[in-house]
A and B are shown apart, each in its own frame.
Chain A
Amino acid sequence: MKILVPVKRVIDYNVKVRVKADGSGVDLANVKMSMNPFDEIAVEEAIRLKEKGVATEVVVVSIGVKQAQETLRTALAMGADRAILVEAADDVHTDIEPLAVAKILAKIVGEEQPQLVIAGKQAIDNDMNATGQMLSALLGWSQATFASELSVEGDAATVTREVDGGLQTIKVRLPAIVTVDLRLNEPRYASLPNIMKAKKKPLDVKTAADLGVDVAPRLTVVKTAEPAARAAGEMVGSVDELVAKLKEKGLV
């Protein structure tokens, strides 16, 4: 069974986000970029399925600027077998919308014929939480989002999902799209020898135009602003003072 894992190059999880003064977006020039953390979990899960003998090949794909090659090399160093880069933008500030990404992925799925696509539940930049669901709709496949447990038996996968109020377990018929949540696994670090090996693994480059997908955005970003700041509060000296303040405000 072949598994396809889409990965996105995003601002590093630990970098402080700065909104550009002119309101045109978030400053990404000369900022550390990394693989979207949810996508790392997806790559890890695919590799574990290969190590268990369930999967035979793990193909990673990234859509965006040419620098996303670095993200793909990271996935190859973790243990993916092969990578595909779909160039769809020149400027690092251009975010390809989930609908266009899903259309590109649908084309790649058509070429690669995986039985399972494992994706992150959302990217930490646009926070849309949509690509997996959209890809599933376009392909007419089953979907299991927000996975915290995944097992594959025969032509079905059993997935435990993180939902409001607890957990839900569903069984999806393959081929399927699974999007992953934080608790599914802890991604490995790539070892130095594996980083060296990854440089020799195959990485194909295509363009969105090659695949015949229009990536023009449907949503125009009118402006990007800092969130409203909260007014500074006050420090209280004791539990008694805190209780008095809360009672005064009628909160308790």
Chain B
Amino acid sequence: MAVLLLAEVTGGELQLDATAKAMTAAAKLGEVTVLCAGASAAAAGEAAATLAGASKVLVAEDASLGHRLAEDTAQLIASLAESYDHILAPATTDAKNILPRVAALLDVMVISDVSAVIDADTFERPVYAGNAVQTVKSGDAKKVATIRTTGFEAAGTQAACAVETVAVPGATGLSDWVEDRLAASDRPDLTSAKIVVSGGRGLGSEESFAIIGALADKLGAAVGASRAAVDSGYAPNDWQVGQTGKVVAPELYIACGISGAIQHLAGMKDSKVIVAINKDEEAPIFQIADYGLVADLFEAVPALTEKL
């Protein structure tokens, strides 16, 4: 089986963690060709060539691919599709924008958020906000799927494989990029951080989130938030962990003032170790926590920061 893996490339740089995890899923299916697309993607291509499991890297460079707008990127992938049985990508917002479009161009169903690969046609994926796991078998000739990266370990490294350049179809001109407003932060990326410290509605205000930040900075951790905290305006949306936000699976997840709504649990329950700090001993978060502490977070979190 021949697999085309769309690498996550942002601003010309390979996003190693997401791509390496999707590679592990791709390598289960066959020989993997990695596609790096962007206004500049050569450096990303060189990096992808050393990812264990890559047999070839394709570099597609064109101004129209600069911000990975769906129309042009999907058109590129569809133009390459003939040679592959599977077309995969890590389930980032970019890939979720692009791959369903690719699938429709190929007249196949997309398989979103794959959490396990059973065989070449059969995949597991969460449905109903993670309240159920479905095993689906595709009857389509080509399989187009996004990979939920938390379900897979990152692939290692290898001696670099061959890198080739591919032709880019002309721009569709359907959409234009205007601007990116990316949150600048010295903290690690939420989806790849080893430790995540999250705050919930229990924080009570945007200002109070500083104690979450202080603990995170002490641990070199990323900061997350529950949807309740985001909806209340205490935290920006890109911090949101949950079914409608980001799905994370760090080594350690510290939930502070989070009750544990189903939609939040769906985004973090695959974390290796979960710590919950909440003053309500009945909070559902304690049912899935490895270590629970019933305490006022305004006392416990600063104390934890000091003692670690």
**A interface list, Cβ under 8 A from B:** 11, 16-17, 19, 26, 97-99, 102, 124-138, 141-146, 148, 158, 161-173, 182-183, 217-227, 230, 232-240, 242-243, 245-246, 249, 251-252
Interface residues in B93-118 by Cβ distance below 8 A to A read 93-94, 96-105, 107-113
Give bound CA distance, A145 to B73, whole Å: 14
Say yes or no for B289: interface residue by CB 8 A criterion: yes
B136 touches A221 (CB 8 A): yes
Query: Which of A126, A183, A218 lies at the interface centre, i.e. has the most chain B CB atoms within 10 A of its CB?
Result: A218
Query: Nearest A residue to B176 by beta-carbon distance?
Result: A171
Residues on the B chain within 8 Å of A224, using CB: 127, 132-135
Residues on the B chain within 8 Å of A239, using CB: 293, 295, 300, 303-304, 307
Query: Nearest A residue to B246 by beta-carbon distance?
Result: A164
CB 8 Å contact bits of B65-78 with A (1 = contact, 0 = none): 00101110010000
**CB<8 Å pairs between A and B, sample of 13:** A127-B112, A133-B100, A133-B101, A134-B104, A137-B103, A143-B97, A170-B69, A171-B178, A227-B130, A235-B286, A235-B291, A246-B275, A246-B291
Residues on the A chain within 8 Å of B191, using CB: 164
Given contacts A129-B112, A143-B71, contact A169 B175 (CB under 8 A): no
Say yes or no for B206: interface residue by CB 8 A criterion: no
Residues on the A chain within 8 Å of B159, using CB: none
Residues on the B chain within 8 Å of A165, using CB: 10, 182-183, 189, 238
Distance from A163 Cβ to chain B, minimum over Cβ atoms (Å): 4
B290 touches A17 (CB 8 A): no
B140 touches A221 (CB 8 A): no
A126 touches B127 (CB 8 A): yes
Query: Nearest B residue to A225 by beta-carbon distance?
Result: B133
Name the prevailing secondary structure of the B interface residues: mixed
User: What would 7 more interface pairs be, CB under 8 Å, given A164-B93, A223-B134?
Assistant: A99-B103, A125-B128, A138-B104, A224-B134, A227-B131, A233-B288, A239-B303
Give bound CA distance, A70 to B247, whole Å: 33
Residues on the A chain within 8 Å of B179, using CB: 168-169
The 4 lowest CB-CB distance pairs between A and B, nearest first, are A142-B174, A133-B100, A137-B104, A134-B104
Distance from B144 Cβ to chain A, minimum over Cβ atoms (Å): 10
CB 8 Å contact bits of B153-181 with A (1 = contact, 0 = none): 00000000000000000000111111111
Q: Which of B99, B183, B290 has a CB less than 8 Å from the CB of A233?
A: B290
Give bound CA distance, A138 to B178, whole Å: 25
A172 touches B174 (CB 8 A): yes
B112 touches A128 (CB 8 A): yes
Q: How many residues of B contact A (CB 8 A)?
A: 87
A242 touches B304 (CB 8 A): yes
B127 touches A134 (CB 8 A): no
Say yes or no for B80: interface residue by CB 8 A criterion: no
Give bound CA distance, A102 to B109, whole Å: 11
Given contacts A242-B275, A243-B308, contact A167 B132 (CB under 8 A): no
Interface residues in B254-306 by Cβ distance below 8 A to A read 262, 269, 273-275, 286-295, 300, 303-304
Q: Which of A126, A137, A168 has a CB less than 8 Å from the CB of B74?
A: A137
Residues on the A chain within 8 Å of B173, using CB: 173
Residues on the A chain within 8 Å of B96, using CB: 129, 145
B128 touches A246 (CB 8 A): no
B104 touches A102 (CB 8 A): yes
Say yes or no for B79: interface residue by CB 8 A criterion: no
Give bound CA distance, A137 to B99, whole Å: 10
Give bound CA distance, A23 to B104, whole Å: 29
Give bound CA distance, A240 to B92, whole Å: 38
B308 touches A252 (CB 8 A): yes
B136 touches A134 (CB 8 A): no
Say yes or no for B237: interface residue by CB 8 A criterion: yes
Distance from A209 Cβ to chain B, minimum over Cβ atoms (Å): 19
Query: Nearest A residue to B183 by beta-carbon distance?
Result: A166
Residues on the B chain within 8 Å of A148, using CB: 237
Give bound CA distance, A126 to B195, whole Å: 30
A99 touches B104 (CB 8 A): yes
Query: Nearest B residue to A134 by beta-carbon distance?
Result: B104
Query: Nearest B residue to A37 by beta-carbon distance?
Result: B244
A142 touches B252 (CB 8 A): no
Given contacts A134-B103, A142-B71, contact A234 B291 (CB under 8 A): yes
Residues on the B chain within 8 Å of A172, using CB: 174-175
Q: Which of B111, B129, B140, B293 has a CB less than 8 Å from the CB of A236?
A: B293
